[in-house]
Amino acid sequence: MTTSAGASSSIFLLVEIIGTIAFALSGVIAAARGKMDWLGACVLAVIVAVGGGTIRDLLVGRLPVFWVENPWTVLVALVTAVAAIIYLRIRPITDLIKSRALPLADAAGLSAFVMVGAQIGLMAGREPFVAVILATVTGTGGGVIRDLLTGQRPGVLVGQVYALAAIIGATFYVTLVELGVQADVSIWLPMFTIFVVRLMAIRRNWHLPKVAVSA
């Protein structure tokens, strides 16, 4: 993965791997909660892992999309899914643990892929606010697809602090890059911020105001 503006390619590769594994795990957990078979779980894991990035690449005309050009992402997602499925077969987990593991995996995937999306937006020469939009799409796209395929309403549309956490982190990252802050700080600090904001929102039941319609 090529980077610019002081960003380290090795760090971003690590971030991308973290995001891929985390979202693949969230796909398997969601599949387990939805009583899917192992093939469905693998398919869902891959779709969640590559979904947001695919939408991003289509928006910026980056063809072929990233996982066609570099299929390692699909392989990492598949290996993660198979390993998780085997683990769940050997050591089944309770619904309570599943309900707690899914938000953790989802928050980790969101925070990682927002960083990747923001950097790709900057690399493509887009304006900072466009990079923030692309980062948000990259981070939230996979989760939206996962929710739709498992019959859930996407959290990004029902008042959850999900897209907002992505926007906050992406804006933070773009600002640090524009200021020339060291790569280690400009990547990990916004990523950690997204993760914490998302988990705090879940723990404290933070929601955005809903649209009020008069009767």
Cα–Cα distances in angstroms (integers) from residue 39 to residues 4, 34, 35, 110, in the given order: 38, 13, 12, 24
**Could you read off the pLDDT tens digit of each residue along the chain, which spans 215 residues?**
334 444 468 899 999 999 999 999 999 999 998 999 999 999 999 999 999 999 999 999 999 999 999 999 999 999 999 999 999 999 877 776 777 899 999 999 999 999 999 999 999 899 999 999 999 999 999 999 999 999 998 888 887 899 999 999 999 999 999 999 988 899 999 999 999 999 999 999 998 888 766 65
CA-closest candidate to residue 161, choices 200, 187, 123, 122: 200
Structure tokens at 54: 């695919």
pLDDT value of position 85: 96
Cα–Cα distance, 46 to 30 (Å, whole number):
13
CA-closest candidate to residue 142, choices 46, 13, 62, 33: 46
Cα–Cα distance, 201 to 207 (Å, whole number):
7
Other Cβ atoms closer than 10 A to 90: 7
Name the burial class of residue 211, with classes exposed (0-12), middle (13-18) and buried (19+) by CB atoms within 10 angstroms of its CB.
exposed
SS3 label, residue 207: strand
SS3 label, residue 31: helix
Cα–Cα distance, 84 to 168 (Å, whole number):
31
Number of H helices, E strands in the chain: 8, 0
Is the four-CA dihedral 24, 29, 32, 36 of positive or negative sign? Answer: negative
Structure tokens at 131: 């990079």
pLDDT value of position 2: 37
Instruction: Say if pTM beats, i.e. exceeds, 0.85.
Output: yes
